[in-house]
Amino acid sequence: MRGNENCHADDNKSDVDGDENAEMAMSAGLGIRIGTVTSVAALDTSRDPQAPRDYATDEAMPTVIRRSALDLSPGAAPALASLSERHQRYLLGGFADRVGDPVPLIDEDGRTHLAEDLFATATRALIAEISAGSETEPTVVVTHPDRWTSYTTDVLREALARAGVSDATLVPESFAAMRWLEGSRGTPGDGLTAIYDLGANSLGITLMRTGSEAGTIGNGVHSQDFGGSQFDHLITQYILETVSSSQSFEFDPFDPDTVGALVELRARCSEAKERLSSETSTSLSVELPGLNYETRLVRDEIEDLIRAPILGSVELIRETLHTAGLDSSDLTQVLLTGGSSSIPLVAELISSQLRVPVATGPHPGRIPAIGGAMLGNEIAHTTISDVPPAAAAVDVTRPAPRPAPTSVASASAAAAEPTGMSVRKKAGIVFASVAALAVIAAGGLSIGTALSSPETPAVSENTADTTGTTTAPRATAQNIADATASANESGLPAPSVAADGTLIPAPGTVIAPDGSVVADPTVAPVGGGAPAAPVGGGAPAAPAVPNIPAPPAPNIPAPQPPQAPAYTPPPISPPQYNGPTLGDVGDGVGGVVGGVGDGLGGVVGGVGDGLGNVVGGLTGPLVGGS
């Protein structure tokens, strides 16, 4: 009898373990980071999201990397372009840095789109691609720059809801990056970490306390003076000078054929820079009108070109510490993120100059997305109660265009006139060639920005800090899961995560002491009536001032912000996902498309330095354009 009881007990235990394993297997987290030039989606399906990860060779999870440019070809589902695509027709980019900007972007057919709608469409396209064929619907975490204000995150949340991604959790990129660091290096003790995010067109520095007083320090720094596009420009200029010193050639740098050849050359220089991150030498083909030349680049040559900008970025870290009342000796470590941080010289100079350890992964540009996937998996493990049905294929909808403007003449105002360079000296040819890239980049910015009027200033995201109450709970995976579940049950919007690691309730809601999301008791319900009762019961608080009627306000209608139409087109089946996109794709390091569009304009301004200032008015310091 006892043996039979033991057998039944073992069978019951096996059933319980099987149920638990099935439940754990059905949860997954999906992290998304949409940057200026590249977008990354990572899917974490591990049974234990808290288990340490080994990133010695790879991230060990499915990853998709695309250009941050939507292909809006007629009759096809919107999709992000691949990194290798060179064509620009029907591609619309530059939206990642303009979320919340009331000035729309214009596509190939003259239709206008708000940047946040394009951001949301890109997010949905990534979800459809990486989760196609998945056994469960993953919990989505969308990362965003730390410098975003609460207004910007609210705008994006509304756009995601219009695109059908209403249940996504928004977290700052530094929050997701620190989760990646915890997963790869273990839980850090008390210390100070500087997150060095070197992307395609800008550099972000965020100071993070770890341990018992975890959280951000200050507002951080966002500089457009450093980025991968700046490195691409220096390499392109160096190649043209090298070729001109050994080959005799003449061409018009503003001829349409030459313009296309220069764009292709700059893209090849960017790819060569990426290869030199893991190799010591590489070859480069230079194909210009009347010239076909094969040259060889070695890592030492490239490092000599970019050493000065990287040292300047190290000084920016010191300035950030000084502004926060700290010193280099207070640093515990530096975490490198962003595609351009994969250049070995970056880690070498930061470590030697600041005398601190440097932490990063084999693909720094994927770190925020992978950290977001780990957070999403934690949230899924925390909130799952029943095994959900298999996730259906996600439909991708085309972004709803805004009404076309009455005039789009200003969109082509940046077209350059031919200047006839066929008889210039070689130095002049080199200078004008690089200047042509500047004109190309400036023309790319004319789409969506040239239509802004002086009376409608663009929304700035760099001057205001992310807001939040000092008493808000810390944004742990448990708190995020509880608040999200409570919001879904009550039909209220879910809270977001501030840069300092606290939960920010959506407008009209508050977070109760038990972690649930409830309606703000101080806000009157829509349609009139008294404010809601306080959390925990009881009558509403008495007003602090006598109830004296105020004089009637003048009958001036309040300005109404532009409203994007709802996403109504019929669903389109997504492309099939054939496995993780891993390998040496270069992490989307800046400048993939040669500085054309996608917010790369202005990076090559002031290209006259070092060339004798041949053409006046184009000289000046190199700046990055995000």
Mean pLDDT confidence for 205-224? 90
Does residue 481 carry a pLDDT above 50?
yes
Both tokens assigned to 308:
């000065």
Check whether 443 has a pLDDT greater than 80. Answer: no
Other residues' Cβ atoms within 10 Å of the Cβ of residue 504: 23
Q: Where are the alpha helices (DSSP H) in 547-595?
A: none
User: Among 249, 269, 149, 255, which residue's Cα sits nearest to residue 593?
Assistant: 269
Q: What is the predicted pLDDT for the residue at 144?
A: 96
Specify the pLDDT at position 514. 73
CA distances from residue 482 to 180, 222, 536 in whole angstroms, order as listed: 22, 33, 18
Q: Is the pLDDT of residue 348 over 90?
A: yes
Q: For residue 404, what are its two tokens?
A: 């076309």
Per-residue CA distances from 405 to 38, 115, 499 (Å): 29, 16, 37
Most confident of 73-77, 391-395, 521-525: 73-77
Q: How much is the pLDDT for 354?
A: 95
- ∠ CA 233-436-610, nearest 5°, is 50
pLDDT of residue 84: 81
Share of the chain above pLDDT 70, in %: 61
Give residue for tokens 């808000």: 472
Residues 176-209: tens digit of each pLDDT: 999 999 988 888 889 999 999 999 999 999 999 9
168: Cα within 13 Å, side-chain hemisphere: 30
- Tell me which of 293 and 162 has the higher pLDDT: 162
Q: Are strands 139-144 and 29-34 parallel, antiparallel or unpaired?
A: parallel
Kindly state the average pLDDT of the residues 609-625.
35
User: How do 105-106 and 139-144 pair as beta strands?
Assistant: unpaired
Range from 87-101, 365-379, 390-404, 570-584 carrying the lowest mean pLDDT: 570-584
Q: Which two tokens stand for residue 132?
A: 């196609």
Q: Alpha carbon of 513 to those of 169, 372, 517, 623: distances in Å?
A: 21, 26, 10, 47
Gap between the Cα atoms of 589 and 337, Å rounded:
11
Residue 366 structure tokens: 């994927």
pLDDT of residue 586: 40
Res 520: pLDDT = 79
Q: Model-level pTM greater than 0.75?
A: no
List, edge to edge, every strand of the sheet that includes 91-93: 79-80, 69-71, 91-93
Across 150-179, b (16+ Cβ under 10 Å) vs e yields bebbbbbbbbbebbbbeebbbbbbbbbbbb
Judged against a pLDDT cut of 70, whether residue 529 lies above it is answered with: no
| Buried-state track 521-533, b at ≥16 Cβ within 10 A, e below 16 | beeeeeeeeeeee
- Report, as an integer, the average pLDDT of 274-285: 92
pLDDT digits (tens, 9 = 90+) for 288-306: 888 888 899 999 999 999 9
Computed from CA positions of residues 161, 163, 167, 170, in that sequence, does the dihedral angle turn out positive or negative?
negative
What pLDDT score was predicted for residue 470?
39
pLDDT digits (tens, 9 = 90+) for 306-318: 999 999 999 999 9
- Mean pLDDT of the residues in the chain: 73
The one-letter code for the residue type at 465 is D
Whether domain 228-302+408-449 has CATH 3.30.420.40: the reply is: no
The pLDDT-based confidence of 83 (bands split at 50, 70, 90) is confident
Is the confidence at residue 600, as pLDDT, over 60?
Answer: no
Quickly count: other Cβ atoms within 10 Å of residue 452's Cβ: 15
Q: In whole angstroms, how far apart are CA 503 and each of 207, 515, 576?
A: 19, 10, 36
With a cut of 50, say whether residue 451 has pLDDT above it: no
> Using an 8 Å Cβ cutoff, are 342 and 196 in contact?
no
User: Strands 333-337 and 358-359, how do they pair?
Assistant: parallel
Q: Cβ(187)–Cβ(169) under 8 Å?
A: no
Measure CA 57 to chain center: 24
Per-residue model confidence (pLDDT) at position 59: 58
- DSSP per position, 226-268: -SHHHHHHHHHHHHHHHHHHH------TTSHHHHHHHHHHHHH
Does position 333 have pLDDT exceeding 90, yes or no?
A: yes
Predicted confidence band at 49 (pLDDT cuts at 50, 70, 90)? confident
